[in-house]
Structure 1
Amino acid sequence: MAGVSSIKEFFIVIGNFLGLNGPLDIFLMLVDISIISFIVYKVIQLVRETRAMQLVKGILFIVVGLKVAQLIGLKTMAYILEGAISLLGFSLIVLFQPELRRGLEKIGNSGFRSFLLFDEDADQLRTTASIEDIVKCCKHFSEEYIGALIVFERNTKIGDVINTGTPMDSLISYELLTNIFTPHAPLHDGAVIIRDNKIKAAACYLPLTENPSLSRELGTRHRAALGITEVSDAIAIVVSEESGKISFAHNGGLTRNLTPDTLRKALYRFLLDKSSAKKVRFLFRKVKEDE
């Protein structure tokens, strides 16, 4: 009983020190900590991979230096660092102006709900938008008989294939894909490789399938699409410039004559449905000579 009493007294002392007078105060403290943690997380997201991140590191270094100076009794150093922090407090708005503007524009353009989404939700939104742009492009290519070959990297990295093309690292858009595959454009021949919702490279060379029983009507794009899906878990979309038919390649198999709606369903299943890695219900026909 003495041990239990000591533990109880310990928590009472901690509660009094933090100014907690009951369960409600504890609940409010937890809510307060959660909100502040979330705000800090979103701020780090905004400044990550920008020059402002270096400023954040500098500010943290000054704060740590101030605490160390106070602990070991360096009064002059602590006084100077306190002054520096006070000046930084007024200049943060100026220093972080680009990031603040970008964050406000993001809230204004995407809505507050989109701003609050975590990385996984935001990635799903970007993937959904990318799928819609690609389906729109393939429909246009099919109607205009424009040849196209688009490959989605998945778990197996295909950096060696990406290195054969022209680096881009661009966001996916209908306009960009249309410009890439416009006949006689510099990047028209070869494949577009998509990684992490970005066009990593265009005009890439893919390994051709070694399947001897392919239909003769299948051209180089179809053979390249099958080749890359035989050596990796990538998926590939082919639009034939002769027939306008849309095809979908996966795991060395090819499904032909897809409609835009069927293509959309396949992309959603492979790129958004996590269970598809275990068992894919979308049926693929192995390419046979009689196709």
Structure 2
Amino acid sequence: MDWSNLFTWHMFINLIDIVVVWFLVYEILMMVKGTKAIQLLRGIIIIIIIKVVSWYVGLSTVSWIMDQVINWGVIAVIVIFQPEIRRALEHIGRGSLFSRNNQQNQEANQLIDSLDKAIQYMSKRRIGALITIQMNTGLEEYIETGIKLDADVTGELLINIFIPNTPLHDGAVIIKDNRVAVAAAYLPLSQSNLIPKELGTRHRAAVGISEITDALTIVISEETGEVSITQNNKLLRGMSQEDYLNYFRGQLIKGNQEKSKNLFEKIYTNVEKHFKRRKQN
């Protein structure tokens, strides 16, 4: 018997086993992301940590209590989260487990269409707006400062929010997981001296949030109707409809990030050259 081949085959099977487990864990996390079940997972992790620490330190009573919580918790979870479990199993049965990217891209396209509708309407009428889209960095600190909406993103909703003299028009709309999380939120103002003097508070807030997060922020000037985008501490001004649509697709649709990065660098370079020429003249 060739023991070396057997050992290699055994290692390969173990590797496949590990990959499958991690894939399943990842898919479960993606399923519960943005739902109340994610809070449950955090609670389970805390209970497990308490159990391990109490066992290691020798806190027998605490360890016994954690054992009971874990034993009966399985039944409680099934009862409390029965709708979520049923929905997840239905998704698996329909094969959506493997088409999640397609679903996300479809939602991203709907988001882009809604943003485009709102931007075109407000830009032409010079309605000031500040819209921030959460990317990878969480924005909970700033979401807490706004008025909760938790609504579908539509062009009509965004337009109504920023109509002058309405209760929610002053501040930022924050979009999280393709939903309007809050309106009238406060963003940190940038103290950079590089921001042109003619730009106001909205632009400083947009640059400010881009300095500390990777959020994508859209600004519409109420003086000129100019559309600007900030991200990763960079400000793009005077974006045409084609420019911002290409950028949105690159940032929000899976598989287009590299294309968007190159587009951002190209536009940013052109903008820098434009304003340098203006200063020289």
TM-score (norm 1): 0.58
Cα deviation digits, residues 140-175 of structure 1 (max 9, x gap): 111000000110101100100010000111110011
The reply to whether residue 272 of structure 1 matches residue 272 of structure 2 is: no
Aligned to 1:192: 173
CA distance in 2, matches of 1:232, 1:197: 18
Gaps of 5+ in 1: 1-44, 51-95, 104-112
Give the drift of 1:186.
Answer: 0.5
Within 5 Å, give how 1:217-236 maps onto structure 2. Answer: 217-236=198-217
Match for 1:179 among 160, 165, 174? 160
Query: Could you tell me which amino acid in structure 1 is paired with residue 185 of structure 2?
Result: C
The reply to whether residue 122 of structure 1 matches residue 111 of structure 2 is: no
Query: Could you tell me which amino acid in structure 1 is paired with residue 217 of structure 2?
Result: A
The reply to whether residue 259 of structure 1 matches residue 244 of structure 2 is: no
Alpha-carbon RMSD: 3.1
Q: Cα–Cα, structure 1 residues 141 and 278, in superposed 2: closer, same or farther, change >3 Å?
A: closer
Q: Cα–Cα, structure 1 residues 215 and 267, in superposed 2: closer, same or farther, change >3 Å?
A: same
CA distance in 2, matches of 1:176, 1:141: 12
Aligned to 2:66: none
SS in 1 for 2:229: strand
User: How many residues in Structure 1 have an aligned counterpart in Structure 2?
Assistant: 188
Q: Cα–Cα, structure 1 residues 209 and 277, in superposed 2: closer, same or farther, change >3 Å?
A: farther
Give the drift of 1:117.
Answer: 8.3
TM-score (norm 2): 0.60
Within 5 Å, give how 1:142-157 maps onto structure 2. Answer: 142-157=123-138
CA distance in 1, matches of 2:159, 2:260: 33
Give the drift of 1:275.
Answer: 5.4
SS in 2 for 1:280: helix
Query: Could you tell me which amino acid in structure 2 is paired with residue 145 of structure 1?
Result: R
Cα deviation digits, residues 198-234 of structure 1 (max 9, x gap): 0001001000112112211111111110000110011
Within 5 Å, give how 1:45-60 maps onto structure 2. Answer: none
SS in 2 for 1:141: helix
Mapped contact 2:250–2:258 kept (Cα < 8 A): no
Within 5 Å, give how 1:29-44 maps onto structure 2. Answer: none
SS in 2 for 1:221: helix
CA distance in 1, matches of 2:218, 2:256: 21
Hey, which bits of structure 1, 4+ residues long, moved more than 6 A? Answer: 286-289
Query: Could you tell me which amino acid in structure 1 is paired with residue 161 of structure 2?
Result: I
The reply to whether residue 237 of structure 1 matches residue 215 of structure 2 is: no
